[in-house]
Amino acid sequence: MLTELLLTICTAIFLYLSYRYAVGRPVGFPPGPPRIPFFGSYLFLLLINYKYLHKAALTLTRWYKSDIIGLHVGKFPVAVVHSGEGVREVLNNQVFDGRPGIFLAAMRDPGDDVRGIFFQEGALWKEQRRFILRYLRDFGFGRRFDELELVIKEQITDMLDMIRNGPKYPHEHHLVKPGGYRVQLPLLFNPFSVNCHFHVVYNERQSREDMAGLVRLVQMGMQFQRHADDYGRLLSIMPWIRHVWPEWSGYKKLNESNQFMRQYFAEIVDRHIETYEVGSERNFIDLYISEMKSCPGHGFNRDQFIMGLLDFSIPAFTAVGVQLSLLIQYLMLYPSIMERIQQEIEEVVGCGRLPTLEDRKKMHYTEATIRESMRIETLVPSDVPHKALADTELLGYHIPKDTIVVPSLYAYHSDARVWSDPEQFRPERFLDDQGELCLKLDVSFPFGAGKRLCAGETFARNMLFLMTAAMCQNFNYVLAPGDQLPDLSKNQNGLIITPPDFWVQLENRRCG
């Protein structure tokens, strides 16, 4: 009898503690789903929408009728914000400028520290970001720079020649089929984009013949973007899982891509260290090396620079081509929009030369279409996760220090309270009554905002315009026998949204 009583009491205590664990949360924390041991609330996100976790989180927001929800990803408390007011607060309030110490960030570096820019915080992050932005501007990064535009023009010309005449070198077979006019997306654009970026960083670029390394870099960058996810995967919840299921957990692919990318940039840095001469700085990399040598022992060191350089470069060899490919999907689904772009190109540019950034000022519809594509297909749906640096409040809820805070850019860009008919692809929403681009109408955040604003925004916008206009000027996107129109539901959710690799048929266009 006593044994049965003790068993009943123990069972009751266990059930009570389990209940408290499942539904317990800090006082004033936002409402949200329960948690279970090891996984937290992560399994609930997977059950709701395993393919698009940002959409699963939005479903929970509607379920709890709150613009902010609180949940746990493993042991980490997480607040996910879905309203425009909340998203703006997270992006612009420096108390949310921290970065969580998740395994996905730590595994990128072979050392014990988290290095680089994306996942760094505090004084080191501010110092590194300030230095990089200050001196990269001298080489054309983050501003209009005539020399850089000439380089972009050269790269676009090479790309157009490859499309028309087919591959000349083995690595180009990954980009275009023999005979030309059939290209693989999103891979096509990125080698040429990163070549322009490298011209800014270390005043070098590869010829088409020598682009094999760039193509492989792009492939590894895409592999990393696709095998991460916006909530850190199970790897961040249970890092030990990589030892049991390295393939299924995504660790093998992530580790392979991380090692390749880090080694690629280590070779660039080491080559410059070996040939550096004091007082004869050749490029931005030499300026950083000069800082390393003049202030040894602080944040400026080889390992930090390798990861920082990688972080500043990865959008150029992944994101630009992906965003262009997402836009092309919509141009194929809405051919009348592409026809309007082509008409605008004929009116402003004509046929005898490539479009320029000066033309961009007059090509309102083309620019509006690019902006609409970045709104409707938010490249980084959940932004890179933020972290509260102190106890604070958000939308009336208590957010404890070290809480991961996710500003859902996807939810904000699809909020009917901000955008009329947000599910429609409608470039006109950014035009005024005279058909001119009105920046006041563009309240989107495709590059984030605040101190964590993507440093490459100007470079990316310039690349997107010049490549979009050049492609529409020269080609039509058509369906070859056996092809089908893009299926947007097949786009993949990783750290960024990416379309699956697909081949697109181009048709030479007679301008005029």
Tokens of 501: 């690799």
Q: What whole-number distance in Å separates Cα of residue 138 and Cα of residue 149? A: 14
- The residue type of 177 is K
Count the Cβ atoms, other than its own, within 10 Å of residue 494. 17
User: What is the distance of C-alpha 89 from the center of its chain?
Assistant: 21
Asked whether the beta carbons of 473 and 355 are under 8 A apart, the reply is: yes
Of 315, 310, 421, which is closest to residue 375 (Cα–Cα)? 421
**Can you name the residues that pair with 492 across neighbouring β-strands?**
498
Of 128, 123, 131, which is closest to residue 389 (Cα–Cα)? 123
Beta-carbon contacts of residue 207 (< 8 Å; ≥ 6 apart)? none
Asked whether the beta carbons of 386 and 404 are under 8 A apart, the reply is: yes
Of 278, 299, 298, 301, which is closest to residue 290 (Cα–Cα)? 278
Q: What whole-number distance in Å separates Cα of residue 224 and Cα of residue 496? A: 10
Q: What is the dihedral sign for C-alpha 155, 193, 267, 129?
A: positive
454 annotated as a binding-site residue = yes
Binding site for heme: which residues?
Answer: 454
Binding site: which residues?
Answer: 454
